[in-house]
Amino acid sequence: MRANGLAGQIVGHAKSAETRATALELGLCDHVYATAAEAVAGADLVVLAVPVGAMAAIAEEIGPHLAPGCTVTDVGSVKQAVIAAVAPYIPEGVQFIPGHPMAGTEYSGPRSGFATLFQNRWWLLTPAPEVDPAALARLQLLLTGMGAKVNLMDPPHHDQVLAVVSHTPHLIAYTMVGVADHLAQVSNSEVIEYSASGFRDFTRIAASDPTMWRDVFLTNKDAVLDILGRFAEELFVLQRAIRMGDGDHLHDYFTRTRAIRRGIIEAGQDTSAPDFGRSPASKPAGAA
């Protein structure tokens, strides 16, 4: 917002004096406040960026101090639980538009932000049908102004999709790093020294903030348990194929999963994937 000149004045609140001082030092905020109630007074837009389990307490604190005409949004990784936690505290005349940027890193705190974080990344919004269209349009303009691509979703669908593409994969990464840690014959230094890129990615993900991820799993419980159950079933089938030496099964399975990955790349949805000269822009002029 700061880099693209999208806000007149940016004020912030964080519990710790150190975080508030860092936010000022980095120029992220024009003013910082020790309480959330003071920070939201007179604001046009309030962005809640705390762990999902802390959303209710923050919403309860700020509710009475929100100005009429204000829009409240959030960036929580789970949507149904945040809506249940926040909506009861939103007063008449204030719009609540839940949101989730599909962008982040394993790092936390004000020093971990960077101006291009949302560039070309999805930012999902899950507004109630009765939301004021003008407030929604204004928020969309702000998010696209930061380079994000905006999509609207209903909250249960959001939580189901995220359980598949983000939450359960994080749990698998945590588990795999835990497995490596518990193997007495394999030292932690060997894990770090010899880890191929797949496992290296697992260790990066497993270094994410424990409070944030605890809250994600506690609040998106049903969807994650559903996907985890399906994952365990598939894993047992593969485990049996390995035990029985069923190479055809393994080969067919891996062929199908490779087709899914290639489909994602061909649809242009993975900007991290190497192009290998496939995209039209990389073809020489006049090429078919």
Ligand X SMILES: O=C(O)C(=O)Cc1ccc(O)cc1
Q: Residue 158: name the closest of 126, 113, 193, 191 by CA.
A: 126
If one asks whether residue 108 binds ligand NAI (CB under 6 A), the answer comes out as yes
CA 102 – CA 260 distance, rounded (Å): 20
If one asks whether residue 105 binds ligand X (CB under 6 A), the answer comes out as yes
Q: Residue 90: name the closest of 68, 108, 120 by CA.
A: 68
Q: Are 62 and 46 contacting, i.e. CB atoms less than 8 angstroms apart?
A: yes
The residues in 197-216 that bind ligand NAI, with binding defined as CB under 6 A, are 209, 212
If one asks whether residue 270 binds ligand X (CB under 6 A), the answer comes out as no
Task: Lay out the site mask for ligand NAI across 29-58 (x = CB under 6 A, - = otherwise).
Answer: --------------------xxxx-x--xx
Candidate list 10, 11, 12, 14; residue touching ligand NAI; CB under 6 A: 14
Burial degree of 205 (CB within 10 A; 0-12, 13-18, 19+): buried
Burial degree of 60 (CB within 10 A; 0-12, 13-18, 19+): middle
Task: Lay out the site mask for ligand X across 37-76 (x = CB under 6 A, - = otherwise).
Answer: ----------------------------------------
Q: Identify what 127 binds: ligand X, ligand NAI, none; CB under 5 to 8 Å per kind.
A: none
If one asks whether residue 112 binds ligand X (CB under 6 A), the answer comes out as no
Bridging pattern class, strands 71-74 and 95-97 = parallel
Query: Phi and psi at residue 245, in whole multiples of 5°?
Result: 70, 30
If one asks whether residue 22 binds ligand NAI (CB under 6 A), the answer comes out as no
For the bound state, the minimum distance from the C-beta of residue 172 to ligand X, rounded and expressed in Å, comes to 13
Q: How many CB atoms lie within 10 A of CB 248?
A: 9
If one asks whether residue 238 binds ligand NAI (CB under 6 A), the answer comes out as no
Token pair for 170? 């994080």
Candidate list 104, 110, 127, 155; residue touching ligand X; CB under 6 A: 104
CA 137 – CA 27 distance, rounded (Å): 27
Token pair for 179? 């497995």
Task: Lay out the site mask for ligand NAI across 64-83 (x = CB under 6 A, - = otherwise).
Answer: -----------xxx------
Judged by CB under 6 A, the number of residues near ligand X is 8
Q: Which residues bind ligand NAI (CB under 6 A)?
A: 14-16, 19, 49-52, 54, 57-58, 75-77, 101, 104-105, 108-109, 209, 212
